Chain A
């Protein structure tokens, strides 16, 4: 059960849009529409911002959007704000009631 692959870091200026990729395999991301994204600020517990590829929980800004193509899922943050500076983790259902996480992406707002 290998971790999903994410870029180590992504940066952007306020107001810009950025996209974080999350690459898995045909056994996880490619087989199920059960990809989630979590945001984690330093010293805090993760918080889900996207689930089931593209759904947003109540209270999450619509500046966050998710998509999937084949074995790769993506998180897009539009209208980047200072408060978006955090670590972002993708994860996917991997069958047999197991899940697998991505390695995390640090987002820096320039």
Chain B
């Protein structure tokens, strides 16, 4: 059974770069044609799609965040990562990693989420 787990610092100072990693177990990100994505949810608010990376390495980003976001794959570790630069308090959120099915465009497997607080 596929499992995803987010990891990274829980506190980031503005205007530093937020860095998170998603470790995938129960399946290889190398061998399957899925999208791997990041979604966030500010406390008490709704979900926001950040971006996806295809198993080939092609990336797709939310236009509102595109200038600050980088998503990458590490096939050797079966992980993918998120970097969000120049963070402010508005980037405080629970960050989820998830797997998306191509063609259907919905996330079928999610990590439990990790809270990242941006504060000096």
Contact = CB atoms under 8 A, between A and B. Distances in A.
Interface of A: 1, 3, 34, 36, 38, 40, 45-48, 51-52, 57, 89, 91, 93, 96-104
Interface string B63-85: 11000000000000000000000
B64 A1 contact: yes
A103 B46 contact: yes
B110 A45 contact: yes
Does more than half of chain B's interface fall in helix, strand or loop, or is it mixed? strand
Contacts, number: 58
Contact of A97 (B60, B106, B111): B60
| Residue picked from A46, A47, A93, A102, most chain B C-beta under 10 Å | A46
Contacts of A36: 104-106
B60 A46 contact: no
Given A1-B63, A45-B113, A104 B108 contact: no
Interface residues of B, number: 22
B48 A97 contact: no
B62 interface: yes
A99 B105 contact: yes
Contact of A101 (B46, B52, B110, B113): B46
Given A1-B63, A98-B60, A104-B47, A45 B105 contact: no
Interface of B: 35, 46-49, 52, 54, 60-64, 96, 104-108, 110-113
Contacts of A104: 46-47
Contacts of B47: 38, 40, 46, 89, 91, 101, 104
A62 to B, nearest CB: 19
A104 B45 CA distance: 8
B47 to A, nearest CB: 5
Given A89-B46, A103-B46, A104-B47, A52 B104 contact: yes
A48 B49 contact: no
Contacts of B107: 38, 46, 48
A73 to B, nearest CB: 13
B82 to A, nearest CB: 16
